[in-house]
Amino acid sequence: AVVERLATGGAAVSVDTRKSEVISAALLAGARLVNDVSALTFDPRSAEVVAASGAPIILMHHLGSPETMQQDPRYDDVLIEVYQWLAQRIDAAVAVGIDRSRILIDPGFGFGKTVAHNLELMNGLALFHSLRCPLVIGASRKRTIGALSNEAPADRRLGGSIAFAIKAVEQGAQLLRVHDVPETIQALRVWRGLRDQALTPRIG
C-alpha cells in the first residue's frame, strides 16, 4: 500500500529486498527499481522475476550473511576482489536475461568491510566504471564515519556523509543513497558550481 501510494504520487520508488515475492509485489504496486543487497544470490527466483519485469536492478557486493559479515572480514585486495565479484554477478544476471543496460552496481560500502576496506573502496571507485554499469554508492551515516569522528552516533554523521557523497561524485558515481537529501543536494550544487567555474575558460 505504501509503495502504491508513493508511485501514484509520482515518486520513483526503489524496493530494497532479497526476496522474489517482495520484488514481484513491489513492482506490481509501481516500484521502478530493485535493490538486492545479495546481488541476486539469496533467492534463486529473484533473477527470473527481475528479468521478466524489465526493471532495472542494483547488484550490491557483500561478504557473507548479514548476521556474520562484519565479523573480521578479510580480503587480499579489497578493490580487486569486489570488482571481480561484481563482474561475475553482472555476467550471471545477463545470462538469465537481464539486459546489461538495466544493471547498476554497488560496491557495498559497509557490507562485510572494515573501516580500512571502506576507505580503500571509496578512494578507488573510478575502477568500477570499466564494468560499464552505473555506479551506486550508499555511504550515508555509515559506521565508518563514526569510527573516524570519535564514535559519533548515526544522527550526528551529516558532515561525514556529505564528504563521502562529494568524494563519490568526484569519481563519477551516478547515484547516491542518502538520508539527508536537502543538505546533500546543496553540497553537491556548491561542488558542481566550483567545478564548473574552474573549468570555465578565462578570456582576456
Active site residues: 142, 177
Q: What are phi and psi for residue 14, nearest 5 degrees?
A: -110, 135
The DSSP call for residue 135 is: B
Q: What are phi and psi for residue 19, nearest 5 degrees?
A: -110, 130
Is the separation of the CB atoms in 26 and 49 below 8 Å?
A: no
What is the maximum alpha-carbon separation in the chain?
Answer: 64
- How far, in Å, are 34, 78, 114, 138 from residue 121 at the CA level? 23, 7, 11, 12
Is the separation of the CB atoms in 137 and 175 below 8 Å?
A: yes
User: Could you identify the residue written with the cell 585486495?
Assistant: 77
